[in-house]
Each structure stands twice: as structure tokens, then as C-alpha cells.
Amino acid sequence: MIERTEYLEELKRWKDKDLIKVVTGIRRCGKSTLFELFINYLKNCGIDNDQIIMINLENADYNFADYKELYNYINKKINSKRQYYVFLDEVQNVFEFQKAVDSLYIKKNVDVYITGSNAHLLSGELATLLSGRYVEIKMLPLSFKEYITTFSDNNNYQQLFLSYMKNGGMPGNIAILKDNPNDLDTYLEGIFTTIVYKDIITRNNISDKMLLESVLKFIFDSIGSPISTKKISDTLTSKGISTSNHTVENYISAFTESFLIYKTERFDVKGKNLLARDYKYYVVDQGLRSYLLGKRADSDMGHILENIVYLELLRRGYKVYVGKVDDLEVDFVAENRDGLKYYQVALTVRDENVLNRELKALQRTGDHYPKYLLTLDMDLEADYDGITKINVIDWLLNK
């Protein structure tokens, strides 16, 4: 198992707190493994096996017709006043699961942990029923920092980063890359098919698989570029694939709910308000993008780098926007309780014209929040009147 240290420490912080712990994220990003790691931690803390109730609701051994059967099954195992730890993996597979979760939560000696592979888990009735009573831990595939720890015999970070840019960070990739890299697409196909068929097509009653994949390919091929539903619809229609803005919007919602893509709003830096048009989209994993697009996936390394930085900012707990400064763009405006940080991302700024172009938007923000220029250049860290240039690999490895 790959040690997901940061997520594990987060679960430890919330242990025995009066909140339901909800771990969300795309399929195969490591949620079940995180539970295993945390259960091992509990056992090392002296918790007995019979105080730990772990149920993987994708396992055919557990076939609960509804929330009542699930609740009754667990309740029978809670037969003393000791503290119990209940883990429900892929809980959305049980009808009205939120009622079982709520009933377990109100027991004073039960600490509840659940996972789900769909953002719908925390919408609608669940959000209403459990409002203010849960904490969400948003899990992503491996960061580059986690990725390199799995290749302890290789300290060539530049080589590993090129591999990461192409193959992504799904935890299951690692053993395949070490043993037989030619099998990677087969593995990723399995993940992709499960997400598309189980989490998207079946859940949303979608009948046109070809249209759905066409929309997804368009978005995967346009990461980091501002696009609208009308642009997607018009482009596909011009290629003989008839669709509508409404259909495209529904598909995008399904992709974001399944954590395949992330929708990023645009932020007017000077006006300090959000702009409601031409969003940007980023993909959760470059390996899945490479699988779907084939060789075409390698054609835009700049936007791939941008995508990696975007996901890392999410990992670090920021709300992330695309910045607009007059007629210029800041790649990312990252916001947390401490304020804002600005990031420009470029493969290289060795060309003075490119350097000046990348610095220009940051220079126009009109405030004193930290500003960074991240590149793959191997030069030493530099400062341009308060704008710090950092090698992106160094930035990824050092917070």
C-alpha cells in the first residue's frame, strides 16, 4: 500500500470528533486504501477488531436492499458501550444510505467514516439531513511528491516528472509501470469504463455513449483553455455530431460529479468578483487523459503543466480561480483564509518576450499578495520586483 500520509493525518485529526468523516474522490484514487491504513492505525492504538466494522458496498458479499438492512446489520455488531468505528466504502450504492448514516451518527459510541465516488453524495437530502454534521476530505490521485516516493531507486526527478505528466498519479499505475508499462492503458481503460458506465451513464440514464465520449474528449483536449457549452455544441455539430447546449451542460455536470473534471470559475482581480462565462476545465488525472486522447494528449505540454499545478493547489486546500486583470490573464488565483496568491505557469521563460508576457498580468494586479512564476527552467530561483520565479518541480516537492 502507498502511504497517503497527508490524508491519513487528516483522518487522525478528526478521529472521535462528533462529525461524520466523508472521503470523496474519483474511483481508484486510494479511498479504500486510506481506510485500510487508518484501520491499521486504530489497531496499533489498541482498538480491538470487533470494535471496527468495515463494509465495502461494492463487494457482492454485502447486498443490502435499503438503508434499514444496512443499519440493522451494523447495529447488531454494536453490542457494548465501547467505542466503535464504522467504515462504509462507496456508501452511495445503498438506497437512502443517508438515513442509516444519520442513525449511526447519533449513537454516542460510534465514529462514522464513509466514502463516495460521486459528488452527488453530499448534495440534496444528505446535505440537508446531515448539515453541519460532517467534514469532507477531498481525495485526489497521487501528488508528484507521493509519486516519487514509490520510485525509491530513482532520484532523477526530471525523468520522473515527465513520466508523471504522461501517466498520471492513479495509485494502481505504479506497479504496472514498474512491471509492464504496456499494460497501463488496459488498467486505465478499466477505470475509465467503470466511471463512464457505472457512475455517469447508468446514474444519469444517458443513452448516447458516443456523444458523451465526444464531449469528454473535447474537454480533455481543451484543458486550460476557456470554453463554453455553446462552443462545444457548435464544434461537435459542425463535425456531424448533433447535440444541444442543454445536453452538453448535463454531461459536464455528470463529469464533475464523478470527479473526472474540475470546473474553474474566472475571477476579476481588480473588481474582486466572479465572472459568469467561459469557464476553464482541468482533468483529475493525466493518465486517464492520455488513455482517452492517445498521442494527441502529449501535444500541449504547457497546459498539462498548468493542470498539474491546479490539482496541487487544490491539494493544498485553496479555492482556485482563473484570474482576469484588464485584458490579461493570471493562470491561477489561489484563495484561503490568509488571502490570495497568484500563479503564472509556463514551460520556459528563457525567451525575454515570453518572460515579459508572463510577468505582465502579475505586475498589474494592483495589490501586494504573493506572486509566483512556475516554470520547468532549471535556473536558480529568481525575483522580479516581488514576483518569485520557482522551478515547478521544486515547488511541487516543497510546500
Query: What percent of the chain has a predicted confidence (pLDDT) above 90?
Result: 86
Torsion angle of the four alpha carbons 23, 24, 30, 33, in this order, in degrees rounded to the nearest 10: 30
> Which residues, including other chains, have CB under 8 Å from residue 349's CB and lie 6 or more apart?
355, 358, 373, 375, 377, 389
User: 269, 261, 386, 388: which is closest to 332 by C-alpha?
Assistant: 269
Using the structure block, give the residue that is written with the C-alpha cell 444541444. Answer: 244
pLDDT over 60 at 196, yes or no: yes
Bridge partners, 136 (sequence order): 22
pLDDT digits (tens, 9 = 90+) for 31-88: 999 999 999 999 999 999 999 999 999 999 999 999 999 999 999 999 999 999 999 9
Question: What is the rounded average pLDDT of the residues 206-225?
Answer: 96
User: 111, 106, 133: which is closest to 122 by C-alpha?
Assistant: 133
pLDDT digits (tens, 9 = 90+) for 337-396: 999 999 999 999 999 999 999 999 999 998 999 999 999 999 989 999 999 999 999 999
pLDDT over 80 at 122, yes or no: no
pLDDT of residue 276: 76
Give the strands of the sheet with 20-24, arranged side by side: 52-56, 84-89, 110-116, 20-24, 134-138
Burial of 80 (0-12, 13-18, 19+ CB in 10 A): exposed
Query: What is the domain partition of the chain in residue ranges?
Result: 5-138, 144-397
pLDDT digits (tens, 9 = 90+) for 154-190: 999 999 999 999 999 999 999 999 999 999 999 999 9
Task: Provide the residue type at 336 as one letter.
Answer: N
pLDDT over 90 at 295, yes or no: no
Question: What is the rounded average pLDDT of the residues 181-204?
Answer: 93
Look at the alpha carbons of 263, 265, 266, 269 in this order and tell me if their dihedral is positive or negative. Answer: negative
Q: With contact defined as beta carbons under 8 Å apart, do 288 and 260 qualify?
A: yes
Q: Which three cell numbers stand for residue 192?
A: 475509465
Of 275 and 327, more confident:
327
Task: Supply the pTM of this predicted model.
Answer: 0.95
Question: What is the C-alpha to C-alpha distance for residues 32 and 41, in angstroms, rounded to an integer?
Answer: 14
The DSSP output letter for 55 is: E
pLDDT of residue 126: 65
- Residue 304: count of CB within 10 angstroms of its CB: 21
Mean pLDDT of all residues belonging to the chain:
94
Question: What is the rounded average pLDDT of the residues 240-248?
Answer: 95
Query: What percent of the chain has a predicted confidence (pLDDT) above 70?
Result: 99
Q: Is 324 helix (H, G, I), strand (E, B) or coil?
A: strand
CA–centroid distance for 203 within its chain: 20
CATH 3.40.50.150 fits 5-138, yes or no: no
Q: What are phi and psi of 344, to 5 degrees?
A: -110, 140
